[in-house]
């Protein structure tokens, strides 16, 4: 579906009503119960595909647990981690029987060093490239800090796995509007270099709720 005002206007479609319907579809999807299904530490232990999947990835401490909790309205769906880099498994959650959310281990935590890297080259890469039900990876980037080598490495890996990934700027509340606009422009330039990248970049804050309804709406388009 298009949200381009020109195209929609030409067809005489009420874009405000369409947008409201998208937001409502997202709200409804994420109002459904979200329950833990399975944790995998090995590629031969993945749960069978249950329908469309969306995976959440990002550097440790990027705000991934907080974002998953904000989207689902849970206070501790994905436990807000006190020990970055500790979880090295894929956690699968069922959202209303319509979408599976997959919490991927945080990467790039300095103290975890080689282990995280080999996790990502091993289990994570195998999961990413061998999962037909995986519709999209949300790759989270902290709006307040520079892109790191580990982020670039994961984007290259996603290109190689040919999995569509969408960048999500987190902690937008921590940046002034002008700096946020610059950051967004930088990130859009990065997106253009990656064949697997989704053209839209989401901007979110789990602290203020900014961008949460819009991201729910985007994910609802991928649900059953």
Stretch that binds ligand GDP, among 30-38, 115-123, 203-211, 214-222 (CB under 6 A): 203-211
Q: Which is nearer to ligand GDP, 26 or 106 (CB)?
A: 106
Distance CA 216, CA 29 (A): 8
Q: Which is nearer to ligand GDP, 51 or 174 (CB)?
A: 174
Taking the complex as a whole, the smallest distance from the CB of residue 151 to ligand GDP amounts, in Å, to 13
DSSP, collapsed to helix, strand or coil, labels residue 45 as helix
Strand bridging mode 202-203 / 165-170: parallel
Does 89 contact ligand GDP by CB under 6 A? no
Give backbone dihedrals phi and psi of 113, rounded to 5 degrees, phi first: 45, -125
Does 81 contact ligand GDP by CB under 6 A? yes
Does 105 contact ligand GDP by CB under 6 A? no
Stretch that binds ligand GDP, among 26-34, 64-72, 111-119, 126-134 (CB under 6 A): 64-72
Restricting to residues 120-179, name those near ligand GDP by CB under 6 A: 170-171, 173-174
Does 213 contact ligand GDP by CB under 6 A? no
CA dihedral 68, 145, 175, 219 (to 10 degrees): -30
Yes or no: say if 93 and 100 are a contact pair by the CB < 8 Å rule. yes
Does 84 contact ligand GDP by CB under 6 A? yes
Q: Which residues contact 7 (CB under 8 A, 6 or more apart)?
A: none
Distances from the Cα of 116 to the Cα of 63, 78, 85, 120, angstroms: 18, 19, 8, 6
Distance CA 211, CA 169 (A): 10
DSSP category for residue 46: P
Q: Which is nearer to ligand GDP, 77 or 163 (CB)?
A: 77
Distance CA 126, CA 134 (A): 12
Among 206, 211, 212, 218, binds ligand GDP (CB under 6 A): 206
Taking the complex as a whole, the smallest distance from the CB of residue 115 to ligand GDP amounts, in Å, to 16
Does 72 contact ligand GDP by CB under 6 A? no
- Binding residues for ligand GDP, rule: CB under 6 A, are 58, 60-66, 80-81, 84, 106, 170-171, 173-174, 205-207
């Amino acid at each position: 579906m298009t949200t381009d005002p020109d195209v929609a206007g030409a067809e005489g479609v009420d874009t405000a009503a369409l947008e409201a319907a998208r937001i409502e579809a997202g709200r409804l999807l994420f109002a459904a119960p979200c329950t833990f299904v399975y944790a995998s530490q090995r590629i031969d232990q993945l749960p069978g595909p249950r329908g469309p999947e969306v995976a959440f990835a990002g550097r440790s401490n990027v705000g991934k647990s907080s974002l998953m909790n904000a989207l689902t309205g849970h206070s501790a769906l994905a436990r807000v981690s006190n020990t970055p880099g500790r979880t090295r498994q894929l956690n699968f959650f069922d959202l209303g029987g319509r979408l599976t959310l997959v919490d991927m281990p945080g990467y790039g935590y300095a103290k975890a060093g080689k282990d995280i890297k080999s996790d990502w080259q091993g289990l994570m890469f195998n999961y990413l490239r061998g999962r037909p039900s995986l519709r999209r990876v949300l790759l989270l980037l902290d709006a307040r800090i520079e892109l790191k080598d580990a982020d670039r490495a994961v984007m290259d890996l996603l290109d190689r796995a040919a999995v569509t990934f969408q960048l999500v700027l987190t902690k937008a509340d921590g940046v002034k509007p002008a700096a946020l606009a610059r950051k967004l422009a930088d990130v859009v330039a990065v997106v253009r270099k990656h064949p697997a990248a989704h053209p839209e970049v989401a901007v979110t804050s789990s602290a203020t709720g900014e961008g949460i309804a819009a991201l729910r709406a985007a994910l609802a388009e991928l649900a059953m």
